[in-house]
Amino acid sequence: MKSTVDEIRVRFDAEVDRFSVLETGQSATMDAPLVLDLITAAAAGVTPTAKRLLDVGCGAGNYTLKLLQRIPNLDVTLIDLSQPMLDRAHQRISSVARGTTNLIQGDIRQTELGECQFDIILAAAVLHHLRTEDQWRTTFSKFHRALSSGGSIWISDLIQHTLEPVQTEMWNRYGEYLAQLKGEEYRNHVMAYVEKEDTPRSLMFQLDLLREVGFVKVEVLHKTSVFAAFGAIKT
């Protein structure tokens, strides 16, 4: 059985410090600093006049902090399961933000976003917690409705591969990365909670789904092993 929402919330409540280092991001994610820079550069470049940001699964606020370096006047809405994560994100962001900051503690599947409320949506290392295909489709549709015309969404996440030999190779490479980073015990720990907690989908599934719910312009920024960064624009 996969982790429940409450179990996931409890885990993240206890890991605030690990998610609070802007320079490295989440070290268990391969190429985390590069992806952080690519995502925020793309968001600022594609949507330079943005006024309203939604950060889904904001964690301790790294992606919003990085984007505020490029677009400093954003009004920010932060969503996360974990209240301690939201508190840390608010603490860090309020010291640099020029616009308003709104906090929503909850599950994106249960959160109403409205229509045309945001110019940029960021979703970093969060969507792999979606379970069923209907949840994926409903969530992506919700993102499309919530964006203004010309708005953009940028996603970085763990991904699955559809070809089993490819998935095996990429998973082994990820294991090697973790072992080199902090040793075999750390590798086993991370891989165990991914198996228990996460249900990633393939990059192609997500790109196709973005188009299916209404996005026309879709872009891949980066892919390495079992991680990818990509986005789309609402016309």
* pLDDT, tens only, 20-34: 888 766 788 999 999
The per-residue pLDDT for 19 is 85
pLDDT mean over 149-155: 98
Residue 20 pLDDT = 87
Concatenated DSSP letters for the chain?
Answer: -PPPHHHHHHHHHT-TGGG--TTT--TTSTTHHHHHHHHHHHHHHH-TT--EEEEET-TTSHHHHHHHHHSTT-EEEEEES-HHHHHHHHHHHHTT-SS-EEEEES-GGG----SS-EEEEEEES-GGG--SHHHHHHHHHHHHHHEEEEEEEEEEEE-B-SSHHHHHHHHHHHHHHHHHHH-HHHHHHHHHHHHHH----BHHHHHHHHHHTT--EEEEEEEETTEEEEEEE--
- Check residue 25 and give its pLDDT: 67
Percent of the chain residues past pLDDT 90, beyond the cut: 94
* pLDDT number for residue 128: 97
Q: What is the mean pLDDT of residues 140-146?
A: 98
pLDDT per residue over 59-69, tens digit each? 999 999 999 99
Tell me the per-residue pLDDT of 82-133, one tens digit each, with 9 for 90 and over: 999 999 999 999 989 999 999 999 999 999 999 999 999 999 999 999 999 9
The domain ranges of the chain are 5-233
Residues 169-226 pLDDT 10s? 999 999 999 999 999 999 999 999 999 999 999 999 999 999 999 999 999 999 999 9
In terms of CATH, what superfamily is 5-233? Vaccinia Virus protein VP39 (3.40.50.150)
